[in-house]
Amino acid sequence: MGVASFETNLKNRCSSCSLREICLPLGLDAEELDKLDRLVKRRRRVFAGQHLFRAGDSFQALAAVRSGFFKIYEVSAGGLEQITAFPMAGELMGLDGISSGAHIGNAIALEDSEVCEIPFPRLEGLLSDLPRLQHQFHRLLSSAIASDHNLMMVLGTMTAELKVAAFLLNLSDRLHARAEPALVIHLPMSREDIGNHLGLKLETVSRMFSKLRDDGLIRTEGRKTEICNYEALKGLCVRGSLRA
């Protein structure tokens, strides 16, 4: 055997992936990691604007974001659209396809991205052998539900200003968990996408960015947003207003 094949390239394995503490591999030992590694199709590239899957596509595999940013949107019978999530590195996409065997959501890359695909029937087979992997998979499913509930809270109870503040904090916190610089955020999605996600119109989103900027909580520079005062932004979300 000559040069290491693509599959066995160490740099492409879960064991050396910087996301292993966030993604499926969390808590696995070397042997378990190896088994998981063998069924992951790694580093499929998805360019900005391309769909990874569409509603109605047969559900064959989960996809974990390796790098980049996606948006997941659903279209109702009446043609209404809702962006349900903006998955980033380490997050799973396609979980809602398990129940019916077909994707419900649409996944589109917001920037050039890479994903790891995990054939679902084979994953389920492996879960039976690896209790720790099974538990971690359940934890990830449960986290997905928890973060969906979080968005419901935002959509159902918050004003426009709080929605935008909560959105920025959510992104910042998720970046922080990945050891990324968390106070300067490059937003790969448009104001319209943010508005759709939050149940607002794009003009309202823009106004709220301006308001947060005028209040000194953030600095905006095109699609780059800096959180100047994390604590105040947090306080705004918790108390509903500044200096309560």
Q: Which residues bind a copy of itself (CB under 8 A)?
A: 74, 76-78, 80-82, 84, 95-100, 104-105, 124-125, 127-129, 131, 134-135, 138-146, 148-149, 151-153, 155-158, 196-199, 237-240
220 binds, among a copy of itself, DNA, none (CB under 5 to 8 A by kind): DNA
**Which residues of the chain form contacts with DNA (CB under 7 A)?**
159-161, 190-192, 195, 199-207, 209-210, 220-223
Q: How far apart are CA 93 and CA 30, in angstroms?
A: 25
CB of 114 to a copy of itself, least distance (A): 24
* Coarse DSSP helix, strand, coil percentages of the chain, rounded to the nearest 5 percent: 45, 25, 35
How near is the Cβ of 67 to a copy of itself at its closest, in Å? Answer: 24
Report, in Å, the least distance between residue 165 CB and DNA.
12
State which amino acid sits at residue 60: Q
Tell the smallest beta-carbon distance from residue 201 to a copy of itself (Å): 11
Residues 6+ apart with CB under 8 A from 137: 24, 123, 127
Return the number of other C-beta atoms located less than 10 Å from residue 130's C-beta: 18
For a copy of itself, the closer of residues 123 and 187 by Cβ is 123
Residue 44 Cβ vs DNA, minimum distance, rounded to whole Å: 22
Contacts of 148 (CB under 8 A, 6+ apart): 84
DSSP 8-state class, residue 102: B
Question: For residues 82 and 190, which CB has a smaller minimum distance to DNA in the complex?
Answer: 190
Taking CB within 5 to 8 Å according to partner kind, which of DNA, a copy of itself, none is near residue 81?
a copy of itself
User: 185 and 172 in contact (C-beta within 8 Å)?
Assistant: yes
**Of DNA, a copy of itself, none, which one sits near residue 145, judging by CB under 5 to 8 A according to partner kind?**
a copy of itself
Tokens 């569409």 found at? 54
Q: From the list DNA, a copy of itself, none, which binds 108 (C-beta under 5 to 8 Å, kind-based)? A: none
Partner from DNA, a copy of itself, none contacting 96, C-beta within 5 to 8 A by type = a copy of itself
In this complex, which beta carbon is closest to a copy of itself, that of residue 13 or of residue 85? 85
- Find the shortest distance in angstroms from Cβ 176 to DNA: 23
Least Cα distance to 64 among 55, 51, 52 occurs for: 52
For residues 61 and 119, the answer to whether their CB atoms sit within 8 Å is: yes
Interacting partner of 35 out of a copy of itself, DNA, none (Cβ under 5 to 8 A depending on kind): none
Residue 133: partners with Cβ closer than 8 Å, 6 or more residues away: 24, 28, 32, 36, 126, 127
